[in-house]
Structure 1
Amino acid sequence: MSTSQRKIEHLQLCATSPVESRKARAGFEDIMLVHRALPEMGMDDIDISAEFLGRKMVAPFMIASITGGHPDTTPINAALAGAAGELGIGIGVGSQRAAIEDPALEDSFRVVRDEAPDAFVYGNVGAAQIRQYGVEGVEKLIDMIDADAMAIHLNFLQEAIQPEGDKNASDALESIREICSLSTPIIVKETGAGISHEDALLLKKAGVSAIDVGGVGGTTWSGVEVYRARAREDTRSEMLGELFWDFGIPTVPSIVECSDSLPVIATGGVRTGLDIAKSIAMGASLASAALPFVAPAMKGKEEVAESISLMLDELKVAMFLCGCRNIKKMHSAPAIVTGWTREYMELRGFKVKEFAMRSESSDFQVV
């Protein structure tokens, strides 16, 4: 099956089937932000602007990589990009692999830059592919959309489930190190299984500019592959996908695992502005989401913009109630970690109480 056909199948399944984590959660329900009954400011005083990799954004949020690589995805990417440009947030494209295989599909990605000429736009290709494309090939992908950054996605869980998947992860780190020689910032992103502290340190040493944790709690690509396997009566792949449906590190713990190494994007189950606020309090520089905007994008730019605008209003309310005038203050807002997330963090050696005891005089910083 061609990459292009696989991409449209993935998009259709995300739009029509339950593809989120089942038992595992992102961890936001275990985080309580400390309420300030005397915020001592007006909501109009709140500044939600953020800086990331040298670029200023209207809000600490991006539309995560969704699609591209099939003619039918062009209007969807146009709607997403139009909303991102209108709201002053960032946006990523889906894997550009299909455009390498068939240059006729480049427009399905280039439309993002056309519709959002001033937005922070990042490109996207898999770690399994950069061994083949090399630095020169990745440069072509950057030029294709005039990307401000390039994301290398780690989707080895999905690759392991797919019959046509690339199951060779050998030398992935060395390939990433080579790509980091480019002048364009490199983001390494997981696609639903999270990133550990150990891997974050390796990526930092390799020269990566930022990490997108892509944790458990949102879309599970193992789950997406279950539906594909079921449709072609591939029982073995379906069983594998079911077993590993919720495998990995949830988003909130993964933020903590990575945030003392590099700037972090919190992706995986981010569904509200309160989730964005909690992500920032736990150490993320930005948050992003993809699945909530698939259905709105099929209707048009206005629906996408309305969905994101609501999330940003929710973020402002959360910051107001926490007494945080700007994103820098939100980074040091005290947060109570409870439940399974606390247990995970303590077993991994993180000092949970430090999050609860932070104050305006705290020296806590996010990279």
Structure 2
Amino acid sequence: MEEGINRRKTEHIRLCLDDNVEGVNKSTGLEGISFIHNALPEINFADIDLQTSFLNKALKAPFLVSSMTGGSELAAKINQNLAIAAEEKGWAVALGSTRALLESDAHKESFLIRKQAPTVPLIANLGAVQLNYGYGADEAERIVELTEADSLVLHLNSLQEAVQDGGDLNFENLLPKIEAVCKQLPVPVGAKEVGFGIDGTVAEKLYNAGISFIDVAGAGGTSWSQVEKLRSEDPLKKAAAEAFNNWGLPTKDCIVSVKSSNVAVPVVASGGMKTGVDAAKAITLGADVIGFARQLLQAATESVESVIRTMDQIELELKMTMFGIGTKSLNELKNTDRVMVMGKSLLNKTAGE
């Protein structure tokens, strides 16, 4: 029987699969963006190119399997399926929090997926708050060595910890400790939220501390306050968590805020991403890589083939969007004027005017 941190990881997976853990009446904000159909795209669908790069490695498509899990028997199956699929499709792949890798011998194989994904960018993951609970640059470097990761991302999950039974709540003076990790590690260090969003002001602080990429992980998808509410055995915390059903910065607003700041690093857009059309919208806002998590989770419990089918659909949706507006590269998509924001066209002149 799994205990402690390993049991918690399994509970997280089960709740995300089986329960409604999205924020109530909270959206990504991307529904306010639409594309202007181009009836004469003047491109060959076969020439549409999704290739890009991230963490100094090539990607066949601008996609990331976002951090989800690790440290349990079920997590091992999920991560191995995700890794094999990511390698075949040329997506980057991120691990769930690797704290369990150092604290427990159980299910280490759930984090050691480099053999299944030998060439794509692999990102290890650690809660930034652990830098106030005995972890430092040495432990972070050890995680990178064990996982053979190309990068480490530090996740910022203050509200989740506040709701979680026994959560780690000392987020004081973390920035200089994050900076120390960035300076010592031989690989790029990124920062991400877990579903409540990073704005431009926070992104600038992280960038100035040495962070190499920002994953905004905005609101509109899984709400980890709701996940922890369902896990909690504390009636007071359960009741208080209800007040945060609608908490967080929508993913769209996060992207806009970060891109409007003085942050010269790649932006990963995650948080409620469900389709390739969502991805296209995020790219037009300035995102460089799009992260998918819960959308892949059910497939990952089934088989590699199920994950690949889901990835294929997301890629096709992105290509169809690009075809529909007449763009054949991600750079053209990022700079298109065939987009409407809250009903306002970016075209100088639309048909019928």
- Report the TM-score when normalising by structure 1: 0.90
Match of 1:101 among 96, 100, 103: 103
Q: Which runs of 4+ in 1 moved over 4 A?
A: none
Amino acid at match of 1:101: E
Alpha-carbon distance in 1 for matches of 2:189, 2:227: 27
Unaligned runs of 5+ in 2: none
Q: Is the 8 A contact 1:106 1:144 kept in 2?
A: no
Matched with 2:45 is 43
Alpha-carbon distance in 1 for matches of 2:284, 2:248: 22
Alpha-carbon distance in 1 for matches of 2:50, 2:247: 33
Secondary structure of 1:62's match? strand
User: For residues 33-72 of structure 1, what are the structure 2 equivalents within 5 Å?
Assistant: 33-72=35-74
1:269 matched to 2:259: no
CA separation of 1:97/1:191 partners in 2, compared to 1, >3 Å: closer, same or farther? same
Q: Is the 8 A contact 2:6 2:106 kept in 1?
A: no
* 1:358 CA drift (Å): 8.8
Matched with 2:34 is 32
Alpha-carbon distance in 1 for matches of 2:285, 2:78: 32
* 1:259 CA drift (Å): 2.2
Matched with 2:212 is 209
Alpha-carbon distance in 2 for matches of 1:358, 1:128: 48
Match of 1:75 among 74, 77, 96: 77
Matched with 2:336 is 333
Matched with 2:125 is 124
Q: Is the 8 A contact 2:299 2:307 kept in 1?
A: yes
Matched with 1:344 is none
User: For residues 17-28 of structure 1, what are the structure 2 equivalents within 5 Å?
Assistant: 17-28=19-30
Secondary structure of 1:280's match? helix
CA separation of 1:173/1:358 partners in 2, compared to 1, >3 Å: closer, same or farther? farther
Matched with 2:94 is 92
Alpha-carbon distance in 1 for matches of 2:131, 2:151: 15
1:356 matched to 2:338: no
Secondary structure of 1:312's match? helix
The CA RMSD measured in Å over matched residues stands at: 1.6
CA separation of 1:72/1:326 partners in 2, compared to 1, >3 Å: closer, same or farther? same
Alpha-carbon distance in 2 for matches of 1:246, 1:48: 34
* 1:204 CA drift (Å): 1.0
* 1:83 CA drift (Å): 0.8
Match of 2:224 among 213, 221, 226: 221
CA separation of 1:25/1:236 partners in 2, compared to 1, >3 Å: closer, same or farther? same
Q: Is the 8 A contact 1:3 1:97 kept in 2?
A: no
Question: What is the aligned residue count?
Answer: 341
* 1:55 CA drift (Å): 1.5
Identical aligned residues as a percent: 38
CA separation of 1:227/1:40 partners in 2, compared to 1, >3 Å: closer, same or farther? same
Secondary structure of 1:143's match? helix
Amino acid at match of 1:54: N
Secondary structure of 1:288's match? strand
Matched with 2:251 is 251
Secondary structure of 2:214's match? strand
Matched with 1:288 is 291
Q: Is the 8 A contact 1:332 1:358 kept in 2?
A: no
Secondary structure of 1:325's match? coil
Greater fraction of residues in helix = 1
Amino acid at match of 1:241: A
Q: Is the 8 A contact 1:64 1:92 kept in 2?
A: yes
Alpha-carbon distance in 2 for matches of 1:170, 1:147: 28
1:306 matched to 2:288: no
Alpha-carbon distance in 2 for matches of 1:357, 1:171: 46
Q: Is the 8 A contact 1:128 1:172 kept in 2?
A: yes
Alpha-carbon distance in 2 for matches of 1:97, 1:45: 43
- Report the TM-score when normalising by structure 2: 0.93
CA separation of 1:357/1:127 partners in 2, compared to 1, >3 Å: closer, same or farther? farther
* 1:108 CA drift (Å): 1.2
